[in-house]
């Protein structure tokens, strides 16, 4: 129990912008306040177990976070039963402006990856910020995708108003790490200078990586005439090959050329996943136990007795997560090939009216039905249509016919989002 001058045991750890709390008994938020800290920025709370002296401070902490208008999701980690316990406690903290994600521990030893203190990660969150093509409309921002994985934020395309669409979701452009551009038509890049200014005003200092077709540096330099002084570095990576893959920490971005009236690329975001630790295999190969953990994390260990590699202790790689994104193109084999088995396929659907096929051909765009044919051939799990022509008022009217081709089709609306998790 808490005593005057002796709060319940609880640990606060902060690393690289991420705040972690272990256990949260009665009074823990007061103990934090005494240190001058607010509960608002806590990203993760881990629970050792569910005795009251380790968790009864949670509802009050949640209320305080809510009152501080937190909108970022909160991750809770704890033994089996976490969701049940948290739901029970939330009877007295029912309405919160942020999402709570519960991760229940099921194995005797388990590892969860985060940005910089990683091992194995678990979730890719996706938000289609806008669904418009050509020009932004009231209630329909220009097509742009925000993806977040393991502490890294990726934006694909940044047309006029994209930063407003982000703000509507409660997000700031400041933490974006990477912006990928499909091509350099204004509806896909004209929001960049304003976004850079906002990042600069927020005193960002981390470098920003831009990826796009050839000419990126020239285009960015031109746009920076109206955003010249920035407190952070901009790095440009120009795509030169028809298909190109860029590796990051735990995931990769694959770019593939499509067919528009200027050079244009589609993108995959692919989260890889290593195999499960195989104890029998490690024992059979006589790998010393003190190396197991490091090998599981992907380290190669060289000793006098020889070299040990991760594949000696790991099973087959497990299924990861793949999101395929393409806009402003005619159907191509490169899209089908790259979208194979995607968990989510986000594709342009400029026209819903079947009679506009000729127009789609002429302006190098796609109809809903062409997108659905690609989804079907690639065997994707789900397709979201986007990049609607401004003349297309009610995309959903055409979905009956689209679903006859590919049943799991959705006429996406602005802000549509999903958390993609590993399936096993």
Answer yes or no whether residue 348 interacts with Zn ion by CB under 5 A.
no
Cβ proximity to Zn ion: between 184 and 345 the closer is 184
Taking the CB of residue 399, how many other CB atoms lie within 10 A of it?
A: 18
**How far is it, in rounded angstroms, from Cα 100 to Cα 326?**
31
Helices (H), 141-284: 162-168, 186-189, 192-201, 216-223, 279-284
**How far is it, in rounded angstroms, from Cα 366 to Cα 359?**
9
**How far is it, in rounded angstroms, from Cα 340 to Cα 324?**
9
Q: 394 with 137: CB under 8 angstroms?
A: no
The active-site residue out of 23, 157, 187, 414 is: 187
Answer yes or no whether residue 187 interacts with Zn ion by CB under 5 A.
yes
Answer yes or no whether residue 370 interacts with Zn ion by CB under 5 A.
no
Answer yes or no whether residue 328 interacts with Zn ion by CB under 5 A.
yes
Question: In the set 70, 185, 257, 322, which binds Zn ion (CB under 5 A)?
Answer: 185
Known catalytic residue: 187? yes
Residue 364 CB, shortest distance to Zn ion, in Å, is 8
Answer yes or no whether residue 365 interacts with Zn ion by CB under 5 A.
no
> What is the phi/psi pair of residue 354, to 5°?
-55, -30
Residue 244, beta-bridge partner list? 255
Q: Could you list the beta-strand ranges (E) of 131-193.
A: 144-149, 152-156, 176-180
Helices (H), 202-245: 216-223
Cβ proximity to Zn ion: between 57 and 159 the closer is 159
Candidate segments 9-17, 179-187, 234-242, 300-308, binder of Zn ion by CB under 5 A: 179-187
Answer yes or no whether residue 26 interacts with Zn ion by CB under 5 A.
no
Residue 190 CB, shortest distance to Zn ion, in Å, is 11
Q: What is the Cβ-side half-sphere exposure of residue 122, based on CA atoms within 13 angstroms?
A: 13
Residue 402 CB, shortest distance to Zn ion, in Å, is 20
Residue 256 CB, shortest distance to Zn ion, in Å, is 16
> What is the phi/psi pair of residue 296, to 5°?
-65, -30
Candidate segments 169-177, 290-298, 301-309, 322-330, binder of Zn ion by CB under 5 A: 322-330
Cβ proximity to Zn ion: between 187 and 370 the closer is 187
Candidate segments 68-76, 221-229, 268-276, 323-331, binder of Zn ion by CB under 5 A: 323-331
According to CB under 5 A, which residues from 121 to 140 bind Zn ion? 133
Q: What is the Cβ-side half-sphere exposure of residue 149, based on CA atoms within 13 angstroms?
A: 27
Residue 374 CB, shortest distance to Zn ion, in Å, is 17
Residues found near Zn ion in the complex (CB under 5 A)? 133, 185, 187, 328
Residues with active-site annotation: 187
């Amino acid at each position: 129990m808490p005593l005057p001058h002796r709060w319940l045991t609880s640990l606060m750890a902060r690393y690289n912008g991420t705040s972690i709390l272990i256990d949260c008994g009665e009074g823990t938020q007061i103990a934090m306040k005494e240190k001058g800290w607010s509960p608002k920025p806590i990203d993760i709370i881990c629970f050792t177990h569910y005795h009251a002296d380790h968790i009864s401070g949670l509802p009050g902490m949640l209320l305080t976070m809510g009152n501080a208008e937190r909108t970022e999701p909160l991750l809770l980690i704890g033994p089996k039963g976490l969701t049940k316990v948290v739901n029970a406690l939330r009877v007295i903290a029912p309405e919160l402006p942020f999402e709570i994600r519960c991760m229940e521990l099921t194995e005797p030893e388990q590892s969860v990856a985060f940005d910089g203190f990683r091992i194995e990660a678990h979730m890719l969150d996706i938000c289609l910020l806008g669904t418009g093509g050509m020009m932004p409309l009231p209630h329909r921002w220009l097509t742009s995708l925000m993806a977040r994985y393991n502490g890294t934020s990726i934006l694909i395309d940044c047309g006029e108003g994209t930063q407003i669409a982000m703000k509507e979701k409660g997000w700031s452009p400041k933490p974006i790490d990477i912006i990928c551009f499909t091509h350099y038509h204004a509806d896909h890049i004209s929001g960049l200078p304003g976004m850079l200014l906002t990042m600069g005003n927020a005193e960002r200092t981390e470098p920003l990586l831009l990826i796009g077709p050839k000419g990126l540096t020239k285009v960015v330099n031109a746009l920076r005439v109206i955003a010249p002084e920035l407190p952070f570095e901009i790095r440009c990576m120009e795509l030169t090959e028809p298909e190109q893959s860029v590796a990051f920490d735990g995931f990769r971005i694959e770019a593939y050329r499509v067919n528009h009236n200027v050079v244009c690329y589609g993108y995959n975001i692919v989260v890889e996943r290593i195999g499960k630790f195989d104890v029998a295999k490690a024992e059979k190969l006589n790998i010393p136990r003190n190396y197991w953990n490091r090998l599981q994390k992907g380290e190669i260990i060289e000793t006098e007795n020889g070299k040990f590699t991760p594949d000696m202790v790991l099973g087959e790689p497990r299924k990861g997560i793949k999101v395929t994104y393409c806009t402003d193109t005619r159907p191509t084999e490169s899209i089908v090939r790259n979208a194979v088995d995607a968990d989510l396929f986000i594709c342009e659907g400029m026209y819903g009216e079947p009679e506009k096929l000729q127009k789609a051909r002429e302006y190098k765009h796609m109809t809903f039905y062409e997108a659905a044919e690609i989804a079907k051939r690639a065997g994707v799990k789900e397709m979201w249509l986007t990049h609607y022509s401004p003349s297309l008022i009610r995309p959903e009217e055409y979905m009956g016919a689209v679903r006859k081709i590919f049943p799991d089709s959705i006429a996406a609306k602005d802000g549509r989002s999903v958390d993609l998790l590993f399936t096993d």
